[in-house]
Structure 1
Amino acid sequence: MSGMSGVAGEDNIELGADDRRRVRRRSLRLLKTLAGPIRGRLAGTALLVLVSAGARATLPLLVAWAIDSMLPRVIDGDLAALGFVGGAYVATAITAGGLLGVYTWAAANVSQAMLLDLRLRVFRHTQLLSLEFHETYTSGRVISRQTSDLETLRELLDQGISQLVSGIAFVLFTAISMFILDWKTALVVVGAAVPIAIIFRWYQVRSELVYRESRVFSARVITTFVETMTGIRAVKAFRREAAGDEKYTDVAHEYRDNTLRSISLFGILQPVLMLIGNLTVAAVLLVGGFRVLDGSLAVGALIGLLLTAKRVFQPIEAIAMFYNSFQAATAALEKVSGLLEERPTVVEPARPQPLPAAEGAVEFKRAVFGYGDGPVVMEEFDLTIPAGQTVAVVGQTGAGKSTLAKLIARFYDLTAGELTLDGVDLRDLSQDDLRRAVVMVTQEAFLFSGSVADNIALGRPEATREEIVLAARAVGAHEFIESLPEGYDTDVNKRGGRVSAGQRQLISFARAFLADPRVLILDEATSSLDIPSERLVQQALERLLGERTALIIAHRLSTVEIADRVLVVHDGRIVEDGSPSELIAAGGRFTSLHQAWRDSLT
């Protein structure tokens, strides 16, 4: 079974304490694995941050030193003291500013390395997941993980983390400098940590849920948009523009309202931090002022304390900005780490059994199948398809015809029993051997952006142009391809926009024939063809499938005419099995289906 927890909990905004801890651990593990390969660069960046923050925190100390120690010497005529302290201040300022620029550049390089690694992981992992995942996890949500969520993480990693580390280091060094100047007055600033901690905790509790909602609402917006644009022909055909607009407006309003809630929370956090900062500076001035009056504190030290008290709250506000980004990024990281936690249901065997030259004999033994944890959809059955036999599978919609095809293609594994190819269990075959031996052509006939030739050569990228043309000729696609603007070099654009549905199907047939599998599965593959094209393809099938094992699933019973054998599937069971003539004579379900098809032609 796959780890479908990410799918099942995708829209589960309210999480229990145990679930929250589990999700946090999962997210931290992901960050740790991303940071592992660049530990050296991270350490170097951290060192730059510490030195830069220390230099900036030293500036108020130099000011206090200049006023209390150097100014009297200047008044006494020692101008060298002015040059010395001025030079020290300028050198420290240049060091702080220069290192700030260097570590900002270094931090950006580190974050981009982590993001590149994560982006590639998401793409590769999503490709490797089994068909079961992709049939339950909508494409819009997958796109959201790769776009919106990773963009949120980019904003955090590019600036947020460097601001956080820099801010914390600066606060620490500034606090040390305050204690160096006067520990009693410094305690006033330390006391401000209590209300700051309270307001941060208040913000954390309320914003965590809001930002988790944000990732869900963002995914819903993307999913609704992608589904509408993907199905735009159906939208136009059934005039569903108004309904689509209403649905999209609802999810867009949810997203907007959620964003306003997050802004409102931050709109309380930031002013409160500013208020605490200003009150703390006033308290330092009051306490320090009285101490200057009684002679226990120098004027320069007071000025230095005021500068540090004011500056110490600048990074705290930056940290608050970081925390705002951090909450959004944490929610995004939860979704991405959840996706990466998914596990394929169809896995590569640890020690695959080689099958370099398959013959094409397929056999089911005591086979049982159900999707995931759901009920059984195909009850226990046995089925043997000899090598080279062409088998047509017919039955009502939902009977289990496509399920049978997906099992042979190993898009799914049996719940119980065995499924073998030439006596080897499919679960013991490597994916390379299996995909070389078994090819499935579906009703969708998806074409990738690129040339017609590239699409035909999908299963055999090394094929020559002559081999590509021969495959197209075999299925009757050569003539219409030659009529395209650039022939075989014509770019079909996204989803094969320059060719018709029937032409896309012919290209997919040419693709399958060029791959030269021993077992060819056609799942409703002639549904997009007109009658002349279908007859042309059937003629090609008769010529090219003589030595192949073929499983043909179709509603059009004209395809049955080229079959050696017919399987009638009903409610997940094979209820009839025989040659077309035998089943017609038997007077069963196939007889009724065949008669209905003949009546439809008159």
Structure 2
Amino acid sequence: MSPETVRGTRGEDRDQYTREESRAIRRRSLRLLGSILAPLKRLIWLTGIVIVVSTAMRAIGPTLIAFGIDEALPRAVDQGDWGPAILIGLAFVVSGGIGAAFVGWYIVLIARLTQAVMMELRTRIFRHTQRLSLEFHEGYTSGRIIARQTSDLESIQELLDGSLNELIDAILIGSFTLLMLFLIDWRSGLLLLGMGIPLVLLMRWFVRESQKGFRATRVVSARLIVQFVETMTGIRAVQAFRREPRGREVFGRVADDYRRANLRVFRLFGVLDPGLILLANVTIAGVLLWGALRVSDGTLAIGVLLASVLYVRNFFGPIEEVAMFLNSYQSATAALEKVSGVLEEDPTVQDPERARRLPEARGELEFDGVSFAYATGRTVLADCALTIPAGQTVALVGTTGAGKSTLAKLVARFYDPTAGRVLLDGVDLRQLDPEDLRRAIVMVTQEAYLFSGTVAENIALGKPDATLAEIRAAAEAVGAHGFIEALPDGYDTDVNKRGGRVSAGQRQLVSFARAFLADPRVLILDEATASLDLPSERLVQDALQRLLADRTAIIIAHRLSTVAIADRVLVMEHGRVVEDGSPAALIAAGGRYAALNAGWEASQA
């Protein structure tokens, strides 16, 4: 695999990479950053000019002090000429005022730049993860997606908000300081340059080790979020099976891993900070000693020595800020790697380049030599050849893992076949316009997910411009109107998070109303009655008859009472259709479906 193709954050949730992988990931992250910053060039240039001016104004302070001590002060004392001293004082105040004003302007500009970058990143992640195929979401935990959108972006924002400011300030102050030091006393400048060798070695060691450390903290941080989100999402199962002690144990281990990963990083700072202080003190002592010797023999003015010491101190002061920047930088770099990995994921189900329109679908489905295998390599469907005429209701039955849901997902184009074609009215789904496809085919699953909002808004999900009369008619058609009217605010009742105000059966009825209102030509019910109790199931049978009328329907159900309304039954085993016929004909044939039906009738006795 080429390094440029390194992608897929599911495989990047680790802290060790080959050198080529690391380079490819860095290039990928830089591409992302470059694409975000490109539209902000004017703001970046303005911000750069402002910080240069503010830094220059602050950097000339020690030189003004040196000139004041060595030139203006003697003239004022010896000759009574206070003009130069006053001018130096005014220049010092003006330069400081200009520097302060430009610093304030810079803070506002960097805030605008930061928020623009964060806004773009947030929206890109959201848009892109919505586009990604079902395969990605089934293999990538919700906790990791949340980590990309929360803790990872917070690390990047922390870098842009404060640490980047400190770095730019440190670089410019260091550069101007070194330049001014060479202008007033090049010998002290050479001494400072000489101390740059151990400084570079120290910083290089820190960058290398902290990169490993911060990458490890991002990985463990994501695991921590995943563990918390999964536990809270499945809290009913946790409490039902008394898994709280086990949850505490697992979460405790992950939290301890996170603690130890952070401690490893802080130990690095335990070496860096004392090292910087030592180098600064040694350099200042060297400048003072050498300068004192030259002052004593008259080759160096005392004001210049004072300015040299101030410049050396100013040079090493921002180095501490560079260390803090490296702290945020390594964390943000690791976060950007994860974010860029998500954004580099390609949908496995791609929209066609030249889409074929099908504005009025009839609903005929055809499987032309269809085979399908998941990314793991396991074949789920094998050479499926099948035609479903428009308007026919087909039930899929079989043991768990027989391939029923996979066949339905291919019809909904959540996946594409590994081989063969799935056609709607003779058009390959891979060539069909996505809008026409989503309008023509709708799937209702066992998990009837309701979004925060009113009941009416949830029913209108597939037809946002529907009137209240249309929404009520759809609810009445599937038998949901009665319980909705009994809610506190009727159709305006807020269902709360994930539909917490209504029962599982009621959520399913709302999803039926949603599908009825969308009016697709092909309707897929994947275990859609599994959440209904027997009274609710009997109530919805008539609704299902109306829901399925005049449209092609695929029903996946273990309850054979639901299967009984089908025109045709397909019995599947190991990815193949082994029986095909009407319910009555298959029962009379005495095959697998007959055995399933007999077992179901016995369970109802």
Q: Does TM, normalized by the shorter one, top 0.5?
A: yes
Equivalent residue for 1:352, pick from 334, 355, 367: 355
1:388 is paired with a residue whose SS is coil
For the Cα contact (< 8 Å) 2:351–2:430, is it kept in 1?
Answer: yes
Aligned to 1:150: 153
What per-residue deviation string (whole Å, max 9, x for no partner) do you get for residues 386-415 of structure 1?
Answer: 000000000011111100110000000001
Equivalent residue for 2:69, pick from 61, 67, 70: 67
Measure the CA separation in 2 of the matches of 1:186 and 1:354.
73
Say if 2:550 is the partner of 1:547: yes
Measure the CA separation in 1 of the matches of 2:399 and 2:519.
30
For the Cα contact (< 8 Å) 2:10–2:140, is it kept in 1?
Answer: no
Measure the CA separation in 2 of the matches of 1:337 and 1:266.
28
Measure the CA separation in 2 of the matches of 1:215 and 1:127.
23
Amino acid at match of 2:345: E
For the Cα contact (< 8 Å) 2:6–2:25, is it kept in 1?
Answer: no
Aligned to 1:98: 101
- What is the CA distance between 1:12 and its match in structure 2? 2.5
Measure the CA separation in 2 of the matches of 1:544 and 1:107.
57
What per-residue deviation string (whole Å, max 9, x for no partner) do you get for residues 566-592 of structure 1?
Answer: 000111111111000111111111111
Amino acid at match of 1:396: T
Aligned-residue sequence identity (percent) comes to: 57
Aligned to 1:573: 576
Measure the CA separation in 1 of the matches of 2:57 and 2:546.
81
Aligned to 2:90: 87
Equivalent residue for 2:182, pick from 176, 179, 197: 179
Measure the CA separation in 2 of the matches of 1:496 and 1:95.
58
Measure the CA separation in 2 of the matches of 1:236 and 1:8.
29
Equivalent residue for 1:527, pick from 522, 530, 536: 530
Equivalent residue for 2:43, pick from 16, 41, 44: 41
2:541 is paired with a residue whose SS is helix
Aligned to 1:56: 58
Aligned to 1:407: 410
Amino acid at match of 1:589: R
Aligned to 1:228: 231
Equivalent residue for 1:390, pick from 384, 387, 393: 393
Q: 1:330 to 1:184 in 2, by over 3 A?
A: same
What per-residue deviation string (whole Å, max 9, x for no partner) do you get for residues 131-187 of structure 1?
Answer: 000000000000000001000000001112122112101100000110011101111
For the Cα contact (< 8 Å) 1:437–1:519, is it kept in 2?
Answer: yes
Measure the CA separation in 2 of the matches of 1:532 and 1:464.
30
Amino acid at match of 1:113: A
Say if 2:15 is the partner of 1:13: yes
Aligned to 2:298: 295
For the Cα contact (< 8 Å) 1:6–1:335, is it kept in 2?
Answer: no
1:351 is paired with a residue whose SS is coil
| Structure 1 segment 14-33 matched on structure 2, within 5 A | 14-33=16-35
Aligned to 2:541: 538
Aligned to 1:509: 512
Measure the CA separation in 2 of the matches of 1:108 and 1:5.
31
For the Cα contact (< 8 Å) 2:478–2:547, is it kept in 1?
Answer: no
Say if 2:376 is the partner of 1:376: no
- What is the CA distance between 1:543 and its match in structure 2? 2.3
| Structure 1 segment 77-476 matched on structure 2, within 5 A | 77-372=80-375, 374-476=377-479
Measure the CA separation in 2 of the matches of 1:150 and 1:240.
32
How many residue pairs were aligned?
Answer: 600
For the Cα contact (< 8 Å) 1:155–1:325, is it kept in 2?
Answer: yes
CA RMSD between the two structures? 1.0
For the Cα contact (< 8 Å) 1:132–1:412, is it kept in 2?
Answer: yes
Unaligned runs of 5+ in 2: none
For the Cα contact (< 8 Å) 1:108–1:159, is it kept in 2?
Answer: no
What per-residue deviation string (whole Å, max 9, x for no partner) do you get for residues 525-563 of structure 1?
Answer: 000001121122111121232210000000101111110
- What is the CA distance between 1:375 and its match in structure 2? 2.7
Measure the CA separation in 2 of the matches of 1:342 and 1:306.
54
What per-residue deviation string (whole Å, max 9, x for no partner) do you get for residues 271-310 of structure 1?
Answer: 2111111111111101111111111111110010011111
The TM-score normalised by the length of structure 1 is 0.99
Measure the CA separation in 2 of the matches of 1:289 and 1:544.
96
- What is the CA distance between 1:4 and its match in structure 2? 8.5
- Dislocated runs of 4+, deviation >3 Å: none
Measure the CA separation in 1 of the matches of 2:598 and 2:80.
118
2:487 is paired with a residue whose SS is coil
What per-residue deviation string (whole Å, max 9, x for no partner) do you get for residues 490-514 of structure 1?
Answer: 0000010000000000000000000
Measure the CA separation in 1 of the matches of 2:519 and 2:355.
22
Measure the CA separation in 2 of the matches of 1:350 and 1:47.
45
Measure the CA separation in 2 of the matches of 1:546 and 1:310.
84
- What is the CA distance between 1:483 and its match in structure 2? 0.5
- What is the CA distance between 1:319 and its match in structure 2? 0.9
Amino acid at match of 2:363: G
Measure the CA separation in 2 of the matches of 1:132 and 1:9.
14
Amino acid at match of 1:383: L
Measure the CA separation in 1 of the matches of 2:22 and 2:272.
24
What per-residue deviation string (whole Å, max 9, x for no partner) do you get for residues 56-110 of structure 1?
Answer: 1100000001011111111111122221110000001111111111112111110
For the Cα contact (< 8 Å) 2:6–2:24, is it kept in 1?
Answer: no
For the Cα contact (< 8 Å) 2:6–2:21, is it kept in 1?
Answer: no
Measure the CA separation in 2 of the matches of 1:431 and 1:241.
45
Amino acid at match of 2:292: G
Amino acid at match of 2:60: T
- What is the CA distance between 1:8 and its match in structure 2? 4.0
Greater shift in the superposed pair: 542-551 or 418-427: 542-551
2:537 is paired with a residue whose SS is helix
Unaligned runs of 5+ in 1: none
The TM-score normalised by the length of structure 2 is 0.98
